[in-house]
A = this chain, B = another copy of it.
Amino acid sequence: MIYLDCNATTPCDQRVIEAMLPFFAEKFGNPSSLHSIGQEAKKALETSRHTIAQCLGAEDQEIIFTSGGTEANNLAIRGSAYALWNKGNHLITSAIEHHAVLNVFKALEKEGFQVTYLPVDENGLVDPQEFKKSITPRTTLVSIMHANNETGVIEPIQEIASLAKEYGLLFHTDAVQTIGKLSFNVKEIPVDLLSASAHKFYGPKGVGFLYVKKGVRLIPQILGGPHERGKRAGTENVPLIVGMAKALEIAQANWEDEYRHVEELRNRLEQGITERIREVTVVGKNAPRLPNTSMILVKYVEGEAMLLNLDFAGICVSSGSACTSGSLEPSHVLLSCGYPHEIAHGSVRFSLGRSNTVEEIQTVLEVFPHIVEKLRNISPFGKEAI
């Protein structure tokens, strides 16, 4: 299998699995238990928190563990929107956020908040000046993703965060696609809230974290015991948290090498595809992008059909985001970039990872043009252009 779907999920690193293993059956305590078995788990929990905090330039108590990126986004947005309710009810986000952000804002709209969904340009970029113009005296929170999961396009969050600070707004970024792939220091980019998910950086699924800057108030969303300084109840998922810390540590130690590695492969892939297949578009090519992501639009054919045919050939990719794979609508991200529906339907996302090789990319470049040819042959469109 050639796996090119790392923005959907990554396999656990073997070192991560090894780090987790002792915590399932040996050091299995509940960190809330006062006896030694519990305290041993508590210690692992706090050591993991420290590791993660260090990776981000944060303080330990600024890291809140969650069940993943989705929950982190929900907690950040809903938790702070309501904490600031008395200050104002206007929130700002972008049109191209992940559904774990967008759907929270849509729910908040029904509950009485007003939300501005900032548009993006054809590269998928939010314009900081547009953001500035959308600020009102009632604005309290802005949430702009760091890198888009479908296109890999990196938003100008440094600028947006600074503007947010200037205007006294809380700034949240969904960094699920960047933490682990890039280096991120909360001292350099002044974010108040940042979401991450372990399974995007070779850690386990079902665990993530929210960075909550000291002093930022947050209404907890899951209530119960006094875990996570009252911000998130529920027995802590010690093995997975240990795994996440290990995964982040590994990713941080190697991110530059990995960056170069996947970027080289990705560029080779894009060049090969554009040379071999007519009428294809690389989305966001002229914008800052994650080094591993390539969203390709292939005219006259549909994305899922390409995906399945690639799968027949042992190549795993995605068409848009994995989350919307059940839906009939084309990607809201591509539509927001201004692509017409029929073009947006023809999307394939290649997202590379550390273990991909030149040979694998070569195979894709041999196989993919035939698949496109086969499907274009089946298609009623585009023949006249041949």
Judge if A182 is at the interface, Cβ distance under 8 Å: no
**A197 lies within 8 A of B235 (CB):** yes
Bound-state Cα–Cα, A103 to B239, Å: 26
Q: Give which listed residue, B12, B28, B32, contacts A325 with CB less than 8 A.
A: B32
Which residues between 311 and 325 of chain A lie within 8 Å of chain B, taking CB atoms? 311, 315-319, 322-325
Judge if A352 is at the interface, Cβ distance under 8 Å: no
**B11 lies within 8 A of A24 (CB):** yes
Bound-state Cα–Cα, A28 to B226, Å: 33
Bound-state Cα–Cα, A207 to B224, Å: 16
Which residues between 1 and 24 of chain A lie within 8 Å of chain B, taking CB atoms? 1, 3, 5, 8-14, 16-17, 20-21, 24
Closest CB-CB distance, A188 to chain B, in whole Å? Answer: 28
Stretch at the interface among A67-75, A162-170, A360-368: A67-75
Judge if A233 is at the interface, Cβ distance under 8 Å: yes
**B323 lies within 8 A of A226 (CB):** yes
Stretch at the interface among A198-206, A282-290, A372-380: A198-206
**B28 lies within 8 A of A11 (CB):** yes
Judge if A129 is at the interface, Cβ distance under 8 Å: no
Bound-state Cα–Cα, A237 to B13, Å: 16
Closest to A37 in B: B316
Interface centre among A35, A74, A233, A318 (most CB of B within 10 A): A35
Interface residues on A, range: 35 or more
Q: Which residues of B contact A35 (CB under 8 A)?
A: 5, 307-308, 310-311, 315-318
Q: Give which listed residue, B13, B33, B315, contacts A316 with CB less than 8 A.
A: B33
**A100 lies within 8 A of B28 (CB):** no
A338-380 to B contact mask, C-beta < 8 Å, 1/0: 0000000000000000000000000000000000000000000
Q: Which residues of B contact A324 (CB under 8 A)?
A: 225-226
Q: A11-B24, A204-B239, A205-B237 are in contact. List 7 more A-B contacts (CB 8 A).
A: A17-B21, A24-B204, A34-B307, A70-B225, A103-B233, A206-B240, A225-B323
Chain A residues proximal to chain B, CB less than 8 Å: 1, 3, 5, 8-14, 16-17, 20-21, 24-26, 28-30, 32-38, 67-71, 73-74, 98-100, 103-104, 106-107, 197, 199, 204-207, 221-227, 233-240, 304, 307-308, 310-311, 315-319, 322-327
Closest 5 CB pairs of A and B: A206-B237, A100-B224, A225-B323, A67-B67, A70-B234
